[in-house]
Structure 1
Amino acid sequence: MEHFISDMSHHFAIPFTNPVLIFALLLFIVLVSPMLLKRINVPSIIGLIIAGVIVGPYGLNLITDSAGVNMFSTIGLMYIMFIVGLELDLKEFKANQNKSVVFGIFTFVIPFLIGYPVCRYLLDLNVYASILTASMFSTHTLVTYPIVSRMGVSKNQAVAITVGGTILTDTAVLIVLAIVINSSQGAFEFQFLLKLLISLVVFSAIVFFIIPIIAKWFFQKMESEKYLHYIFVLFIVFLCGFLAELGGIEPIIGAFAAGLALNKLIPHSSALMNRIEFIGNALFIPIFLISVGMLVDISVVFDGYQAIYIAAVLSVVALVGKWLAAYLTQKTFKYSVAQRNVIFGLSSSHAAATLAVILVGFKAGIIDEYILNGTIILILLTCIVASFVIQKAAKQIAIAEEDEDIIPSELGHYAQEKILVPIADASNIGKHIELAMLLKDNKSVNSISLLGVMPNNEQAERNIIIFKKNLQEQLSDAVAADMKVDVIATIDHNVAGGIVRTARETMADIVILGWPGKTGILEKLVGDKVDLIIKNMDKNLFICH
């Protein structure tokens, strides 16, 4: 018994060392957090980050920064950037690449210009520390992108320019980091800039020219081996990340480039795309968000006034700088308030790139522990603020896009004239057909639709067959005039309701009704068929006598 208890206590010793138990706990958090927070309308991202704070080394210490967790965290971050590149509307991105450059400049320069004097004169940091910390304000990680993707607004122009700006500003920050580190060590040379430029050229050639050719060949040759497609895609993602790292570029930029390279080869509605999104959203991305929370050391707020003061100043400067960049972008390109908030929500969350800059500076002795701890608090606060902002803004855009008028280019042949002729008596349709032929636009490819609405009873199927048979015998005029005519038969409890519904389903522009017959007492009270149709239909109506 003692041996059993000892063995059990070993398995549950804190921090957990059993990989099976650690993975089970992570999956439990991924499962439960969204379920609990959905009830109080809190984004699931926040729940995962807070859960990471609780179970992490600075919380209950159930999970440490083990190699397995770090691996899943790295995979999750690269997965986010890969999906961003994969889901990006390339036509929209290319059409607005200049806007991406403008936003990239705003979101890099404005936080930097605000952050440098604050760090230099308010926090009393030296020049190198001020430059490095100010550049940290310019970085951002697309932590909240899964919310945008889930809301179905990832193709909005505001999202496209934010993604483009992300790559620009993060690359600029990494160059600043290299310059500061080399300068602080008194060994600044321009050779590393030349190396970086050459690496970018070679990397771009491999990713955007060679990899698409290989991928296209692989998908064609392995058409029947669907599971291999997903493995191949994962391999490409991490190969690109590794190639980027070899060239002195962040792996997340390599993952984003992999998404762009495979963008045209993986249709958004394909089974492969569904697998990519499902596994990422179910496993890799949630564990990355938990790992972000594990970095947060809440105890720094108890280290005295200075720690709280520095954390507050850093957080305020980071949020204000990004908001101003989003505001200027909105005014420059005349975006809506919701689009501005999407830009702010996507670009205000600081995580991986921010932490990378600060950790490098800390290890080089440029940044002290107060700035390091303040940055970790900044990561938590900005992710929480960004999550709330993006959820509200993305919902507003999704609702607005549903209410937008459809432009003719999106309608295809539905943009051309469509005539619907409801028929009550198949033996008396001559005048209806003549009027329809007179009104029809010869340029329209749509046929004239003859509609019969049958009562929804036991005889419905028999009545449909009889209706279609009788109509075919009466279509000689239309056939002789070489006019396309099709027959629609439907079932409805109310004839008027069936006509209105079918007119909407077929997107008819013109509806030709027969002259109403005698009405009974009930029809006079509630309105006859024609009255009900006129009240409920916004089409051009003709009544043929």
Structure 2
Amino acid sequence: MFEYLSFFIILFAAVFFSALFNRLHLPFVTALIVAGIVIGPYGFGFLQITPTIDFFGQIGLIFLMFIAGMEVKLSGFAKDRKNIAIISVLNGLLPFCVGFFIAIFFGFQNISAFLLGIIFISSSVAVIIPSIEAANLLPTRLGKEIISATIVEDLISLALLSVVLQSLSPVTLLPLPVFYALLVILLVVLKVFIPKARLFFDFLREKKKGLFHFELRLVLMLLIGVVVLFEILGLHPIIAGFFTGLVLSESIKSKALKEKIHAISYGLFIPIFFIIVGAQTNYHLLFEVKVALFLTISIIIGSFLSKFLSGYLAGRLVGFSGQESTLMGVATTPQLSTTLAVVFIGHELGFLDNNLLTAMVALILFTTLIGPFFINLISKRITKTCEI
């Protein structure tokens, strides 16, 4: 009874709030997180997060990371790898230090501070790509380097998160160097094997009717299969989801298939995850505990300014104009998928408390609202002069 009721409440909230926020020209993600806050235990208390709902939410996060991995095209890094490296290092190192020292200042343990630093490194490819595309900057050198650097920063964040997880709560009995060497070998093998697996399954099929749905089932099977395989080795399913998307990014060429994957992900699983994130956000802490409000404000200002300033400086270092560098700084500020992955795992393991969880949700809401707005505003001034 409660399983069905909770499921219905989530779907109703997702439809209602996304439609309402769309009318207000506000992001889809913001709508779902706010929906979770409203219907969750710290809001009106309509939603009970049952084990089944929680499982669907974890599947949603895996799909979110899978799609983030699919956005990565490693073949596109070769041309401007020097500039991308400069931008990634500067735009990652300064925010990491700021995040780390904010946590230390508020009395958190070193591990919590390290996780906050990892969160500050990342940016959101899922927010940045549509914003850059809407500004007609995707084919330009500026657009390509912003996206490539953001992807590298996400990869660094997830790699560091993986190291932290293996150090603190190791699932594998293998020594870390052996574990990561095996992981790299496995990724290379999968990169070669997956296209051949598709040809093999195509060979087994005599009829081409229903091929599109067959390919979709094949991709979903590979996603869950690789996640299970990596989990057996000791890699967290969320990170495994990203690596699966990374491996499949060059293999999935059908636009219709990608749209179908997005439809399944954003139509069901991912909204459940975002609503659960909202439901777990105790916004009362901002008003009841003074330090929580101060912490939240410090994290929002620290993250936004460190990403903006480091992005601007990196842009100037690699030869962009002042306005182009300003756009680069603003474009790297949005936080979403990787941030949520780190927050979700850190909170699950007890290293990020409710104060930090609430602050992170506030950071996501702020940056996903402000980032695209400023990208659109600044891009109007530079689109005509941007180098292809």
| Alignment partner of 1:218 is 2:207 | no
CA distance in 2 between counterparts of 1:125 and 1:196 reads: 30
Contact kept, 8 Å, 2:56 with 2:273, in 1: the verdict is yes
Between 1 and 2, higher relative CO (CA 8 Å, sep ≥ 6) is seen in: 2
2:57 aligns to what?
Answer: 73
| Alignment partner of 1:85 is 2:73 | no
Structure 2 unaligned spans of 5+? none
Change in Cα spacing, 1:400 to 1:237, as seen in structure 2 (3 Å) is farther
Change in Cα spacing, 1:228 to 1:197, as seen in structure 2 (3 Å) is same
Aligned ranges 1:279-298 → 2 under 5 Å: 279-298=264-283
Q: How many residues align?
A: 374
CA distance in 2 between counterparts of 1:154 and 1:29 reads: 34
| Alignment partner of 1:245 is 2:231 | yes
Change in Cα spacing, 1:117 to 1:208, as seen in structure 2 (3 Å) is same
Name the aligned partner's letter for residue 332 of structure 2: I
CA distance in 2 between counterparts of 1:38 and 1:317 reads: 29
> How far did residue 232 of structure 1 move?
1.0
Contact kept, 8 Å, 2:9 with 2:47, in 1: the verdict is no
> How far did residue 275 of structure 1 move?
1.3
Aligned ranges 1:142-221 → 2 under 5 Å: 144=127, 147-148=130-131, 151=134, 156-157=143-144, 158-179=146-167, 181=168, 192-219=175-202, 221=204
| Alignment partner of 1:265 is 2:265 | no
CA-based RMSD of the aligned residues comes to 3.5
CA distance in 2 between counterparts of 1:60 and 1:95 reads: 53
Contact kept, 8 Å, 1:87 with 1:154, in 2: the verdict is no
Larger C-alpha radius of gyration, 1 or 2? 1
Name the aligned partner's letter for residue 344 of structure 2: L
Contact kept, 8 Å, 2:331 with 2:375, in 1: the verdict is yes
Contact kept, 8 Å, 1:359 with 1:372, in 2: the verdict is no
Contact kept, 8 Å, 2:88 with 2:153, in 1: the verdict is yes
Name the aligned partner's letter for residue 360 of structure 2: I
> How far did residue 126 of structure 1 move?
4.8
CA distance in 1 between counterparts of 2:343 and 2:15 reads: 28
Structure 1 unaligned spans of 5+? 1-10, 12-16, 408-545
2:297 aligns to what?
Answer: 312
Name the aligned partner's letter for residue 197 of structure 2: I
CA distance in 2 between counterparts of 1:238 and 1:388 reads: 32
Give the one of 366, 372, 378 matched to 2:359.
Answer: 378
Contact kept, 8 Å, 2:334 with 2:367, in 1: the verdict is yes
The Cα offsets for residues 96-117 of structure 1, whole Å up to 9 and x where unpaired, read as 4455544443344323322334
Name the aligned partner's letter for residue 199 of structure 1: L
Contact kept, 8 Å, 2:119 with 2:338, in 1: the verdict is no
| Alignment partner of 1:342 is 2:369 | no
CA distance in 1 between counterparts of 2:69 and 2:124 reads: 14
> How far did residue 297 of structure 1 move?
0.9
Name the aligned partner's letter for residue 23 of structure 2: R
Aligned ranges 1:424-503 → 2 under 5 Å: none
Partner secondary structure for residue 266 of structure 1: coil
Partner secondary structure for residue 229 of structure 1: helix
Partner secondary structure for residue 59 of structure 1: coil
Name the aligned partner's letter for residue 45 of structure 1: V
2:18 aligns to what?
Answer: 34
Change in Cα spacing, 1:48 to 1:248, as seen in structure 2 (3 Å) is same
> How far did residue 395 of structure 1 move?
4.0
CA distance in 1 between counterparts of 2:60 and 2:384 reads: 34
> How far did residue 132 of structure 1 move?
4.8
Give the one of 4, 7, 27 matched to 1:43.
Answer: 27
The Cα offsets for residues 230-277 of structure 1, whole Å up to 9 and x where unpaired, read as 1111111222223333333333333233233333332253x3222122
TM-score (norm 2): 0.81
CA distance in 1 between counterparts of 2:239 and 2:45 reads: 32
Contact kept, 8 Å, 1:97 with 1:161, in 2: the verdict is no
Change in Cα spacing, 1:313 to 1:103, as seen in structure 2 (3 Å) is same
Contact kept, 8 Å, 1:37 with 1:47, in 2: the verdict is yes
1:116 aligns to what?
Answer: 100
CA distance in 1 between counterparts of 2:299 and 2:384 reads: 40
Change in Cα spacing, 1:26 to 1:150, as seen in structure 2 (3 Å) is farther
Name the aligned partner's letter for residue 161 of structure 1: A
2:215 aligns to what?
Answer: 229
The Cα offsets for residues 256-301 of structure 1, whole Å up to 9 and x where unpaired, read as 33233333332253x3222122222322222222122122111222
CA distance in 1 between counterparts of 2:92 and 2:18 reads: 33
| Alignment partner of 1:300 is 2:310 | no
Contact kept, 8 Å, 2:68 with 2:337, in 1: the verdict is no
Identity %: 21
| Alignment partner of 1:255 is 2:255 | no
1:389 aligns to what?
Answer: 370
